[in-house]
Amino acid sequence: MAGTIRLDKFLAEMKKGTRSQVKEAIRKGRVLVDGAVCRESDYKFDPAAVTVCMDGEEVAFSSVEYFMLNKPQGVVSATEDNLHPTVISLIGDAKRKDLFPVGRLDIDTEGLLLITNDGKLAHELLSPKKHVDKVYFAKVKGKLREDVTEAFAKGITLADQTTVLPAELLIESSYEEDGEPVCEARLTIHEGKFHQVKRMFEAAGGQVVFLKRLSMGPLMLDPLLEPGESRPLTAEELKALRKS
């Protein structure tokens, strides 16, 4: 049972318009409940047991939604913003309007972002006590200290004297670009401090010039998703997330 909900609230939550717009639609007889016109905005019903149509189309009900997004650069991890497009604006097939990103990726960072309206799951994934693994691919310019892998494994101290938890660093390649040393690496962290990955590499003598999140807990970025694309989570992915 989904519980009861007001008709106007249901339509607004299912992205059929603002509350005032759906009230007007109801008043004009554009909304049917189980095949009959309903002109009462405050009519309460169980959306799991009733069929609602607006302008001749059934309004599908979803109490919770889960989307995997491959966040592109230039988009902010927010529900609304006056200057930049938001990650929520990229979820074109969402039914609900109360979705939010689980955590944040910087505007210039790409990769995996979970979008949902499940507050309980989001809290579990973001709780500092849970130490959920997050894996990033980073391209770093500059000469890193020789013991960077060991320093990260012990828990490096940032420029502001904050010490982060031990992290696993794997240098995948090293080369020169425009006469400057560059490395490509995978970094697994177990917390989510502000700009943490960038600050860790800065503390080791480097500058992150590209950053992409590859996974969060058991959830791995679908390689078929291009930047800006999203898809609903599979039942298996959601089950694994809840277990973690």
Closest C-alpha among 186, 238, 211 to residue 68? 238
- For residue range 86-103, list pLDDT tens digits in order: 999 999 888 898 999 999
User: What average pLDDT does the segment 196-200 reach?
Assistant: 97
Give the model's pLDDT for residue 2. 54
Bridge partners of 111, per DSSP, are 71, 213
**Pairing outcome for strands 66-71 and 168-177:** unpaired
Total Cβ atoms within 10 A of residue 180? 10
Q: Which amino acid is at 17?
A: G
CA distance 110 to 104: 11
Give the model's pLDDT for residue 31. 96
Instruction: Give residue 108's pLDDT band: very low, low, confident or very high (50, 70, 90).
Output: very high
- For residue range 28-84, list pLDDT tens digits in order: 999 999 999 999 999 999 998 899 999 999 998 888 999 999 999 999 999 999 999
Q: Decide: 164 and 239 in contact? Cβ < 8 Å.
A: no
- For residue range 110-145, list pLDDT tens digits in order: 999 999 999 999 999 998 888 899 999 999 999 999
Q: Catalytic site residues? A: 106
CA distance 110 to 122: 20
Give the model's pLDDT for residue 92. 86
Instruction: Give residue 1's pLDDT band: very low, low, confident or very high (50, 70, 90).
Output: very low
- For residue range 134-178, list pLDDT tens digits in order: 999 999 999 999 999 999 999 999 999 999 999 999 999 999 999
CA 230-173-220 angle, 5° bins: 25
Closest C-alpha among 61, 39, 41 to residue 50? 61
- Mean pLDDT (the chain) is 95
Give the model's pLDDT for residue 9. 94
Handedness of CA 76, 78, 81, 86 (dihedral sign): positive
CA distance 191 to 130: 9
Domains of the chain are 5-58 (3.10.290.10), 66-128+218-243 (3.30.70.580), 134-216 (3.30.70.1560)
User: What average pLDDT does the segment 14-25 reach?
Assistant: 94
Give the model's pLDDT for residue 117. 95
